[in-house]
Chain A
Amino acid sequence: MEFSFTPEQLMFKEQLIRFARKEIVPRVSEHDLQSKFDFDSFRKLGEFGVLGLHFPEELGGSGADVVTTVLAGEALGEAGVDAGLTLAYGAHTFLCADTILCHGSEEQKRKYIPKLASGEWIGCMGLTEPGAGSDVASLSTRARKVGDTYILNGSKMFITNGSIADVAVIYAKTDKDLKHAGISAFIVEKGTPGFSAGRDLIKMGVRTSHTSELVFEDCEIPAQNLIGQEGAGFLMAMQTVEWDRSALLAPFVGGMTYVLHKCARYAKERHQFGRPIAHFQATKHKLADIKIFIEAARSLCYRIAWCKDQGRPLNHLEAAVAKLFMGDWSLKPANDAMLLHGGYGYCHEYEVERYFRDSRLAPIGGGTSDIQKKIISKLM
């Protein structure tokens, strides 16, 4: 076993941290307070090459490997980019664009990937429904083939980037009598008649990402917007899990590193009983617990990434372990960071308040902790 990054990977990480600190982080707090998506920052991520990092160069990407791509996510978190923007990036790049890249036709790739890589277009993915979360087989959105078109009816829920997306990858049943094998994936563009986004949901955390309902009312799309074959949608959705358990989790690890630095600096500056609170053992214990979480969690993400780079099929047990640990074990360090700041930790100005709220998504989004336990206990 060995756990090294290449010098190039580490240099890229440093460059990205510097870029993000200068170009993105100064506006994070304001956008979070207003629950506003930062379009400028998103496009800057595109210009820097983050949005299409692992896409082929001929389609506007950089051809990076998966480990480097995950490292980019960690770098964004470490720089202080908020979990809302990194979630929006994740939904755009890994859940939407990567599905088109891996399963779409050449025409679909040429049409969508360069625009998604640059950030000119924003992507989203619609799988979850009001009545179908982890139980994907019970999807009720229907896609009925009529001549050279498909007619979509139904709705999607909790869709990251839903209201701002230019293009969506939508999962719908083409055969309602089949379970997983009846699910297909489609590309739906913004402005298509019958396709609309509901209001943005008011969320506890990750507020700079817009989350909304998507509604399809006799939404007619060209048949060539089907991705791959009919019935192949479930497997496509499952393939995004590899990204979900690595690249989408990495910003949480990086974010915790950012929080740790914030806590350490605060502990040195804040005086109580005539000395900095950094002198108290209880403060050091909190810092240590955050550090231990970071180091414990990090390798779980990179193990999934490294295996994907080797071309191996996803190890569902390892993926669930990574998600479960990140979800359930991140709550305490996030809480510790807030408590260490005392009353200030409860206020917006000190950022740890935002991290505390944002961390609450980790055991829910992308498959709840209970679902991960279910997967693990079945695979043991």
Chain B
Amino acid sequence: MNFDVNEKESALVARLKKVIDQDAENKLKGLRTGDPLECLNLFMDYLGRLAETGYLEPGVEDGKHSTTLVAAQEALATMSPSLFLAIESSTRLFGRLVSAYGTPEQKEEILPLLLQGRYIGCVGLTEGGMSIETQPFDTTAASSGNDFIVTGSKDHVINAPMADRIAVITRADENILVTLARTESSGITVGERYTGIGYEGTPVASVHLDRVTVAAQEVMGPFDPPDILGDLRRWEDQVLTSASLGLMNRSFQAALDHARKHRRGGKPIIAYQEVGFKLAEMLTIRQTAQLLAYRAAWMDESGDRERDILVSCAKTFCAESAEQVASQALQVLGANGLAKGNPAEESYGSAKYLQVAGTSSEISRVNIGDRILERA
């Protein structure tokens, strides 16, 4: 047992803080309705910087989470939530998928570029009305000579507007095939970039695939659905857990700074119990969430048999806590918190996304309940 942050964890975080500027989040948000090329260039710039720190590597090739990775993820998710989500979707989702399920040739072609920060990937998983728990995908990959023909639509694909490749999760009979489609391929249409609450600096769009031809050597599988979907779900949930820590840190800090500086009745408002006690609750939730997230990562790293249930517990608790902390932060901040661009206002919207993305809180609770019942 050791609750201290170790040297490896703190060294990576220190390197990160040197290369990511405090204004990263605002820069990314500023480009959401602007020139897509400018947006891509900015991401590539950050990707390159992150590659130099060693941030992109942990957990990609071995598929495992670790406390070192969570420490770094928490730091990046605090500095820029939008950058974090985009980078993680490319490395810890797309990268892990290729690493765990790709052929040697696919890995050789993609992973070095990805880890050097010269390549962006995305994963097309979600479909309209589809539940990965109970229903098959509508998107199909049909064999045609040496190729596969992919047809269907994917929603909410993070990085779709700027990715080099999209790993499209498709159905082939009872199995899953993953087609590594190049985004410039004929028949692929990337929709308009989504605008909505939360993660405004992360490029997200739908992808429509109309009889897209993908060479057989660029297809992974077939795989048994529970295996590959289980891995994808866990990786996504791990990323979203760290994302939750970042949002909590941002909104808590904004509220704390305000409560120390803002004065009423001749004293800082933190001196009033109605404010100080709220901050105490926020800090308590935040510390508890951090410990749970780190322990879940440690369980993955150490191969603990309780790993899956801990990952689900951590994702559910952290995502919901992120909303709770942001909500209380807004209350402490008063009108200041409601202003566009305030970290609490941003975090409040983004936290909602975290509860529905990956394994939703509802499905996650059902999964946890099922595992408990299996053992009873």
A interface residues with partner B (beta carbon < 8 Å): 1-5, 67, 260-261, 264-265, 267-268, 278, 281, 283-289, 291-292, 295-297, 299-300, 302-303, 306-307, 317-318, 320-321, 324-325, 328-329, 370, 372-378, 380
CB distance from B28 to the nearest CB of A (A): 30
Instruction: Assess whether B313 is in contact with A292, with CB atoms less than 8 Å apart.
Output: yes
- Judge if B375 is at the interface, Cβ distance under 8 Å: yes
Bound Cα distance A300, B289 (Å): 10
Chain A residues whose C-beta falls within 8 Å of the C-beta of B291 in the assembled complex: 296, 299-300, 303
| Chain B residues with CB below 8 A from A2, complex form | 1-2, 67, 298, 302
For A378, the closest partner residue in chain B by CB is B276
Return the contact of B376 from the options A4, A268, A328 (Cβ within 8 A): A268
Is A1 within 8 A of B294, CB to CB?
Answer: yes
Q: Which of B2, B273, B283 contacts A374 (CB 8 A)?
A: B273
Q: What 1/0 mask marks residues of chain B from 272 to 306 whose CB sits below 8 Å from any chain A CB? A: 01001101110111011101101100110010000
Looking at the complex, which one of A297, A307, A377 makes contact with B277 (CB distance below 8 Å)?
A377
Q: From A297, which residue of chain B is reached at the shortest CB distance?
A: B288
Chain B: CB-nearest residue to A370? B277
Q: Does B251 contact A (CB under 8 A)?
A: no
Contacts of A372 in B (CB 8 A): 280
Interface residue? B19 (CB, 8 A): no
Separation of A192 and B283 alpha carbons in the complex (Å): 47
B372 close to A (CB within 8 Å): yes
Q: Are B288 and A306 in contact (CB under 8 A)?
A: no
Residues in chain B near residue A378, CB distance under 8 A: 276
User: Bound complex: CA of A271 vs CA of B214, how far in Å?
Assistant: 51
A300-B1 contact given A265-B376, A267-B373, CB 8 Å threshold? no
Which stretch (B3-11, B39-47, B107-115) binds chain A?
B3-11
Rounded to whole angstroms, the CA-CA distance of A267 and B313 in the bound complex is 20
Known A-B contacts A285-B365, A288-B364, A296-B288; the reply to A380 vs B280 at CB < 8 A is: yes
Q: Which residue of chain A has the shortest Cβ distance to B67 in the bound complex? A: A1
Residues of chain A lying within 8 A (CB to CB) of residue B375: 264
Known contacts A264-B372, A292-B313; decide if A3 and B298 are in contact (CB<8 Å).
yes
Alpha-carbon distance between A261 and B371 when the two chains are bound, in angstroms: 12
Q: Give the CA-CA distance A185 to B280 in the complex, in Å.
A: 32
Given contact pairs A324-B284, A325-B288, A377-B279, A4 touches B369 in the complex (Cβ within 8 A): no
- Does B310 reach chain A (CB closer than 8 Å)? yes
CB distance from B163 to the nearest CB of A (A): 33
Q: Which residue of A lies closest to B374 (CB)?
A: A264
Q: Give B6's nearest chain A residue, CB to CB.
A: A1
Q: Are B284 and A291 in contact (CB under 8 A)?
A: no
Contact flag A281-B295 (CB < 8 Å), given A302-B1, A324-B280, A372-B280:
no
* B284/A376 in contact, CB under 8 A: yes
Size of chain B's interface in residues, with CB distance under 8 A?
Answer: 46
Given A264-B375, A299-B291 in contact, is the A281-B366 Cβ separation under 8 Å? yes
Q: Nearest 10 CB-CB pairs, A to B? A: A284-B369, A377-B276, A264-B376, A376-B280, A288-B368, A288-B365, A373-B280, A299-B291, A373-B277, A1-B67
Q: Is B78 an interface residue (CB 8 A)?
A: no
Chain B residue at minimal CB-CB distance from A67: B1
Say yes or no: is B204 at the interface (Cβ < 8 Å to chain A). no
Supposing A4-B302, A292-B313, A297-B288 touch, asked if A380 and B270 sit within 8 A by C-beta, the answer is yes
Could you give 5 example pairs across A and B, Cβ below 8 Å?
A: A4-B302, A296-B288, A303-B3, A370-B277, A380-B276
CB of B119 closer than 8 Å to a CB of A: no
Q: Is there contact, CB below 8 Å, between B2 and A278?
A: no
Q: Which residues of A contact B369 (CB under 8 A)?
A: 278, 281, 283-288
Complex CA–CA separation, A306 to B4 (angstroms): 10
Is A296 within 8 A of B313, CB to CB? yes
A5 to B2, CA, bound (A): 10
The closest CB in chain A to the CB of B71 belongs to A1
Interface centre among B4, B5, B273, B288 (most CB of A within 10 A): B288
